A and B are shown apart, each in its own frame.
Chain A
Amino acid sequence: MVHLTDVTKYYGSKRALGPVSFEIEKGNTVGFLGLNGVGKTTLLRILACGLRPSSGTALVDGFDVLRDPHAVRKRVGYLPELPPVYRDMTVTDYLTFAGRIKGMSPEAVARRMPEVQERTRIVEVRDIPTGHLSQGYRQRVGVAQAIIHEPELLILDEPTHDLDPVQIMEMRAMIRSLKDSHTILISSHILPEISRTCDRLLILNDGEIVASGTEEELGEKLFASRRLAVTVRLEAAKAGDGDRAAAVGAARAAIARVPGVTGVEIPDSPGSVDRDADAVSFQVEGDTDLRAEVCRALVESGHDVTTLNRAERGLERVFVGLVGKGGTWH
């Protein structure tokens, strides 16, 4: 659906983007993640035919953004960071204008209007001028204008910009509901928005894509290791603290003996040692997935394993590692 080859964008001598190359399959929802000013909007505007790349090739559904811009524009729905709404028009008039300007016939717009207003949940404000709407509604109207002509590619630049938490949840739900009918590109510097909505992530830093993949893949690529969280019940240690310490040591040793384990530690968190449940949790580092081996070793050494999971790393940590700075995410 989207194919970029060595795309760059310069403003004078300042490089804003690239060289960037990637492909996006039809039907995917892809998130562009990066701090402010790393080139996300530049990249999306090139794909929406709103910005000319300095070099490289950008294809949307096989059409070059420079050679066939109108063919691309017909296939793309674009929501910029600030929704491009005319404040003097009612929602329905505005969407009619947007549909018509994108090449739809009046009949097609009239047919499509109820569905679009229903999907973006703006039916109740359809006769109100957009200038009188809240930011949340205005953003939904922005999404509505982007999908009115049923584009194959939907580009949403910071779709939760300036929304309150409830509006953010509603916007996420709306985007998820659009995944069936569109290939979607979303940019954001807000990590949960990306991780909860997208199938794949492209992380940008300083105008370049520094990593791509699912959140899990990115974590594995970055840390080059696998981490397990194991909770063990210490049946043998009910007598006293001395016996408990010995039992914890025995369990730790049993894990450490497993080939491939590179580290065992008790996390520095309140729930790691649960005296009431007589359990202790370990974090196990290994160079492969060692869940089966660790479980077997603990059972064979007389310990009861109550939980065994691959530890979640979280996108924020991945992001920090990739861009190499503190960041300003939420």
Chain B
Amino acid sequence: MALAATGIIFRREFNAYVRSPMGYIVAAVVLLIDGILFYVTALGPDSQFLSGEVLEQFLYTASGMTAIAAVALSIRLVAEERQAGTLLLLDTSPVRDWEILLGKFLSALAFLSLITVATLYMPLLILVNGKISVGHILIGYLGLTLLGGTVLAIGLLATALTRHQLVAAAVASVITGTLFLLAPLAERVGPPFGRFFAAVTIHGRHWAGFQDGILHLRDLVYYLAMTYFFLFAATKVMEAKRWE
């Protein structure tokens, strides 16, 4: 039943993204901004980057857009249900909180991945017209997926905390923004805080490898661990609130 329940919730939530304008709006905004930035970087009249640098630049901007999209997609997942009263259906059904959250997380990750895949034409343009490897693209997109998953987990924690999507958006943005800003902060602050910030930041050194087309096991583990941590925290919040 465990995986079955997760699958049932996954299908409902994924269909909700497909049926609602919200999913399309997020997809449209991501594709538009990624496209504009790609044009400016790679195809603009003053562009003098090498093809590898263009891909790195694209992955860099795409990472920011992926994080923003992840926040936008995740904030409705629990808060909206709590507001509409539909969470009571799940709360009074024989399903565990982690099953509910995992189904919701996977649906958001699947939809976010679809949006990310839709940007693939840009790296493919570089591949056709320049000198980059397919591996670089794959590793970069693996990084985008891992980063997106971590921010989705942060969004799930935020949305589990409240019934207001705006509050959830604020909480998720503050956590994600802080974890992003720790990267430049780490470069300006001496040890031990600088090293701590560098180890914790969601971007910076953990992201750099994916952007450069180099897969480090430590970065993979970092994103998976962060995702697990925030999903675990969200589950504990849901457990506490289920009986309130």
Which residues of A does B touch, CB under 8 Å?
48-52, 69-71, 73-74, 76, 78, 80, 82-89, 97-98, 100-103, 145
Q: Is B9 an interface residue (CB 8 A)?
A: yes
Partner of A88, one of B4, B16, B94, B244: B16
Count residues on chain B whose CB falls below 8 Å from chain A CBs.
Answer: 25
Give every chain B residue within 8 A of A52 (Cβ-Cβ).
243-244
In angstroms, how far is the closest chain A Cβ from the Cβ of B116? 24
Give every chain A residue within 8 A of B244 (Cβ-Cβ).
51-52
Additional A-B contact list (6), CB under 8 Å, known A51-B244, A89-B12, A101-B89: A50-B88, A50-B91, A74-B94, A84-B89, A87-B84, A103-B94
In angstroms, how far is the closest chain B Cβ from the Cβ of A8? 14
Partner of B95, one of A51, A76, A101: A101
Among residues of B, the one whose C-beta sits closest to the C-beta of A72 is B94
Among residues of B, the one whose C-beta sits closest to the C-beta of A70 is B94
Q: Is B129 an interface residue (CB 8 A)?
A: no
| Bound Cα distance from A50 to B93, whole angstroms | 9
Among residues of B, the one whose C-beta sits closest to the C-beta of A103 is B94
- Complex contact B19–A97 (CB within 8 A): no
Chain A at the B interface: mostly helix, strand, loop or mixed? loop
Sample 6 A-B pairs with CB under 8 A, ordered by A number: A73-B92, A78-B88, A78-B92, A80-B88, A100-B4, A103-B94
| Bound Cα distance from A303 to B1, whole angstroms | 76
Q: Is B86 an interface residue (CB 8 A)?
A: yes
| Bound Cα distance from A50 to B82, whole angstroms | 13
- Complex contact A103–B1 (CB within 8 A): yes
Q: Known interface pairs A84-B86, A88-B19. Does A51 touch B93 (Cβ–Cβ under 8 Å)? A: no
Which residues of B does A touch, CB under 8 Å?
1, 4-5, 8-9, 12, 15-16, 19-20, 84-95, 242-244
Among residues of A, the one whose C-beta sits closest to the C-beta of B18 is A88
Q: Known interface pairs A50-B243, A73-B92. Does A100 touch B8 (Cβ–Cβ under 8 Å)? A: yes
Give every chain B residue within 8 A of A78 (Cβ-Cβ).
88, 92
- Complex contact A80–B94 (CB within 8 A): no
Give every chain A residue within 8 A of B84 (Cβ-Cβ).
84, 86-87
In angstroms, how far is the closest chain B Cβ from the Cβ of A270? 48
Among residues of B, the one whose C-beta sits closest to the C-beta of A52 is B243
- Complex contact A80–B85 (CB within 8 A): yes
- Complex contact A101–B93 (CB within 8 A): yes
| Bound Cα distance from A207 to B89, whole angstroms | 25
Give every chain A residue within 8 A of B1 (Cβ-Cβ).
103
Partner of B12, one of A69, A71, A84, A86: A86
- Complex contact A51–B94 (CB within 8 A): no
In angstroms, how far is the closest chain A Cβ from the Cβ of B134? 39
Give every chain A residue within 8 A of B85 (Cβ-Cβ).
80, 82-84
Q: Known interface pairs A51-B243, A88-B16, A97-B8. Does A102 touch B93 (Cβ–Cβ under 8 Å)? A: yes
- Complex contact B16–A101 (CB within 8 A): no
Partner of B93, one of A71, A73, A83, A87: A73
- Complex contact B12–A50 (CB within 8 A): no
| Bound Cα distance from A82 to B88, whole angstroms | 10
Give every chain B residue within 8 A of A103 (Cβ-Cβ).
1, 93-94
Q: Known interface pairs A88-B19, A97-B8. Does A102 touch B94 (Cβ–Cβ under 8 Å)? A: yes
